[in-house]
Amino acid sequence: MTEKIILASASPFRKAILIDAGIAVETVPAELDERTLEAPLKNSGASPEDVALVLAEAKAVNVSTRKPGALVLGCDQTLSLGDEIFHKPADMEGARRHLLALSGKTHQLNSAAVLARDGKVLWRHVGIANLTMRKLDPAFIGRHLARVGERALQSVGAYQIEGEGIQLFEKIEGDYFTIVGLPLLPLLVELRRCGAIDG
Residue numbers annotated as active site: 76
Phi, psi of 50 (to 5 degrees): -60, -40
Which residue, among 119, 104, 120, 118, has the nearest Cα to 169 in the 3D structure?
A: 104
86 three-class SS:
strand
Which residue, among 10, 59, 19, has the nearest Cα to 38 in the 3D structure?
A: 59
134 and 169 Cβ atoms separated by less than 8 Å: yes
CA–CA separation, 74 vs 97, rounded Å?
29
CA–CA separation, 34 vs 76, rounded Å?
10
82 three-class SS:
coil
SS3 content of the chain, % helix, strand, coil (to 5): 40, 25, 30
